[in-house]
Chain A
Amino acid sequence: MSFSVPPTLEAELDELATHYPQKRSASLMFLHAFQEHFGHVPREAVEWTARKLGLQPINVYELVTFYPMFRQQPVGKTHIKVCRTLSCALAGSAELREHFCQKLGLDSHKHTPQTTADGKFTVEFVECLASCGTAPVVMVNDDLLEKVTVTEADRVLASGKK
């Protein structure tokens, strides 16, 4: 697949760059925009961003490897992020993640994000999502689900299978 930046996306990026007195500042927002558009940050997007902002590719690539939210590979259509940190763990988030993995045939002993073979789901353990009062919490794509029960988890899986 050849890499190209559609005009609407480029216009969006050009506008973002105007928010900063120094262009380099826009790189994080560029990467977000690319990830939203492509589902991940392709190598070509890193190089494109570097050219656009007058940087070396490494200046952008080192952001992709530093910030946990950026990914270089595609993820499943339904991206399930289960909060791992203390308040959620006290409310059973490890077991909840295990449930997701079991139902999807993924190995819960692996700690890296895992994607099902059909590309429909990715299950990931993430650090505190700042909603500890409604633990356990899970992000499904951009949405936060609170006080997630097993029933709720199964609902997420059912709607993602469609």
Chain B
Amino acid sequence: MPEQFKMILKHADSAGYTPDMACYLRHGGYESLKKALATPARTLPDGKTQSPQEVVRDEVLKSGLRGRGGAGFSAGLKWSFVDRRSGKPIYLICNADESEPGTFKDRQIIYKDPHQLVEGMIISCWANDVKLAYIYIRGEMPNGAKLLNQALKDARANGFLGKNILGTGYDLEIYVHRGAGAYICGEETGLIESLEGKRAYPRIKPPYFPAVLGLYMCPTIVNNVETLCHVRHIVAMGSGEYAKLGTPNNTGTRIVSLSGDVQKPGYFEIEVGKVTIGQLIFDANFGGGLKPGRTLKAIIPGGSSSKVLKAGEVFKLNRKGADGQMTKVDVPLLDLPYDFDSLQGAGTMSGSGAIIVMDDTRSMVDSLANLSAFYAHESCGQCTPCREGALWLAKGLHRLEHGEGRKEDADYLTHIAQNIQGRTICAFGEAASWPVLSFVKKFRDEFEARGAADEAARASGAGPTPERKLAASPQP
């Protein structure tokens, strides 16, 4: 039976582990920073030399680390895009605006092991010649912000942060910046605008790629909390050892957030791709199965913006055979390895690593209505298709939820969603559309039946159907 592989969360939940400096130091804290700062320059086979910072950047690239925030883009490549010749300062921002529905992994790191993040950040800043960095934490984590501020203060007092870090002559300052409840701040250019003291309206790319024109129009790196923690471990074990974790092109570990209709919701750190979706839901080591007497209906595999997967679906994935040839193989939903590429192959994404499970007692219409209300609330309002469309989607679904549906609503919702995606400055347009497109496509009968039933009730003069409930009563 597969098990968790705890690297980032190795200590966080162990008895007696506290988020303070003394405890972190007792568990080998800041040793990776010392190792990184002592990295020697190296000469490559072609005669070129790499500075110590270049060596560490190269290590991160070779490790295969992919961003844990949502896009799954190579962290090393992202760093390589940074404009180092402009003469402008380079900034690094830790994206701790964890707010993708279903996701609660960064919270574990921030609240239980904040120094791990701080150490990962200092190494990443040093490797990228950053002198000033920020942790952008969501406003709803006030206690988390306090813990991080304390961690930074203690890091300064111990010489890991501030002027002349560990006697190397390297200066770095990190500050905590609090958001104030806007989901769009998780989008990196929106986050940058917010950090500049403005409304979090995302910037259009091109030209505003953060690596070139980021914070204050300077080159900027934005990395997720979990991603930055991995840097510490890559330095500690070396890229070669790190890349042995997980599966090819999906290296390392990642923390999966599991919620919804399972016996044991929670967060589980796994080697990427070594555990299947079925195991995450049903194994005793993970979700522990569904509630008694229920069957699986659907899962949202990578945060609420990812396309829904229906129980019983079978996907055609590319697999490399023993002869090295790529062939198409049928993979049922529950056998899908939980990694970036398999989920992409299944037409969805592993996003922020958050799985929401829904069993046969749940209405897909009402579940989608809940999500669309979220996106309508969170659209920043900058682009018309999203500002208006997200609201129309929510209104259409609200109608279906409240007994005022129509038969053509399935087509209506699809039509609106298709006219949002691809027509906005940032990926929020897709985030709002994809759930609608996938729910309606895969559960069309449910949407049509709801609309037809409402029409029939109106025609018979029975009046509006009473409001449906997504859940039973709360626990007594």
Task: Give which listed residue, B182, B183, B377, contacts A66 with CB less than 8 A.
Answer: B182
Q: Does residue B311 face the partner (Cβ distance < 8 Å to A)?
A: no
Chain A residues whose C-beta falls within 8 Å of the C-beta of B425 in the assembled complex: none
Q: Does residue B9 face the partner (Cβ distance < 8 Å to A)?
A: no
The size class of the interface chain A forms with chain B is 35 or more
Chain B residues whose C-beta falls within 8 Å of the C-beta of A31 in the assembled complex: 180
Instruction: Annotate A61-84 by CB proximity to B: 1 below 8 A, 0 otherwise.
Output: 011001111100000000001001
- Asked whether A132 lies within 8 Å of B101 as measured between CB atoms, the reply is yes
Q: Which residue of chain B is the closest to A150 with respect to CB atoms? A: B476
The size class of the interface chain B forms with chain A is 35 or more
**What is the bound-complex CA distance between A85 and B98, given in angstroms?**
14
- Asked whether A29 lies within 8 Å of B177 as measured between CB atoms, the reply is yes
Chain B residues whose C-beta falls within 8 Å of the C-beta of A25 in the assembled complex: 177, 195-197
Instruction: Annotate A100-143 by CB proximity to B: 1 below 8 A, 0 otherwise.
Output: 00000000000000000000000000111111111110010011
- Asked whether B470 lies within 8 Å of A90 as measured between CB atoms, the reply is yes
Using known A-B contacts A90-B358, A91-B471, A92-B474, determine if residue A133 contacts B257 with beta carbons closer than 8 Å: yes
Most B-side CB within 10 Å, residue of A69, A89, A133: A133
The interface stretch among B17-25, B102-110, B115-123, B449-457 is: B102-110
**What is the bound-complex CA distance between A89 and B474, given in angstroms?**
10
Q: Does residue B419 face the partner (Cβ distance < 8 Å to A)?
A: no
Chain B residues whose C-beta falls within 8 Å of the C-beta of A63 in the assembled complex: 180, 197-199
Interface residues of B in 91-149 (CB under 8 A from A): 98-104, 106-107, 132, 138-143
Q: Does residue B378 face the partner (Cβ distance < 8 Å to A)?
A: yes
**What's the count of A-B pairs with C-beta under 8 Å?**
173
Q: Which residue of chain A is the closest to B358 with respect to CB atoms? A: A90
Using known A-B contacts A69-B139, A85-B101, A91-B474, determine if residue A133 contacts B216 with beta carbons closer than 8 Å: no
Task: Give which listed residue, A70, A86, A96, A149, contacts B101 with CB less than 8 A.
Answer: A86
Q: Does residue A156 face the partner (Cβ distance < 8 Å to B)?
A: no
Using known A-B contacts A22-B216, A86-B101, determine if residue A68 contacts B182 with beta carbons closer than 8 Å: yes
**What is the bound-complex CA distance between A26 and B199, given in angstroms?**
13
Q: Which residue of chain A is the closest to B175 with respect to CB atoms? A: A19
Q: Does residue B42 face the partner (Cβ distance < 8 Å to A)?
A: no
Q: Does residue B374 face the partner (Cβ distance < 8 Å to A)?
A: yes
- Asked whether B475 lies within 8 Å of A150 as measured between CB atoms, the reply is yes
A158 to chain B, nearest CB (A): 16
Using known A-B contacts A66-B199, A85-B374, A130-B99, determine if residue A28 contacts B179 with beta carbons closer than 8 Å: yes
**What is the bound-complex CA distance between A32 and B373, given in angstroms?**
26
Q: Does residue B472 face the partner (Cβ distance < 8 Å to A)?
A: yes
- Asked whether B472 lies within 8 Å of A92 as measured between CB atoms, the reply is yes
Using known A-B contacts A28-B178, A90-B362, A90-B471, determine if residue A131 contacts B107 with beta carbons closer than 8 Å: yes
Chain B residues whose C-beta falls within 8 Å of the C-beta of A29 in the assembled complex: 177-178
**What is the bound-complex CA distance between A20 and B182, given in angstroms?**
21
- Asked whether B180 lies within 8 Å of A130 as measured between CB atoms, the reply is no
- Asked whether A28 lies within 8 Å of B257 as measured between CB atoms, the reply is no
- Asked whether A142 lies within 8 Å of B143 as measured between CB atoms, the reply is yes
A94 to chain B, nearest CB (A): 7
Q: Does residue B155 face the partner (Cβ distance < 8 Å to A)?
A: no
- Asked whether B197 lies within 8 Å of A149 as measured between CB atoms, the reply is no
**What is the bound-complex CA distance between A122 and B324, given in angstroms?**
63
Please report B residues at the A interface, Cβ cutoff 8 Å.
98-104, 106-107, 132, 138-143, 175, 177-183, 194-200, 216, 257-261, 265-267, 300, 304, 354, 356, 358, 362, 367, 370-371, 373-374, 377-378, 380, 469-476
A-B contact pairs, 7 of them (CB 8 A): A25-B177, A59-B198, A86-B102, A86-B300, A132-B102, A132-B260, A148-B474
Q: Which 5 A-B pairs have the closest CB atoms?
A: A67-B180, A92-B474, A132-B259, A69-B181, A68-B181
Please report A residues at the B interface, Cβ cutoff 8 Å.
19-22, 24-29, 31-32, 53, 59, 62-63, 66-70, 81, 84-87, 89-96, 99, 126-136, 139, 142-144, 147-151, 153
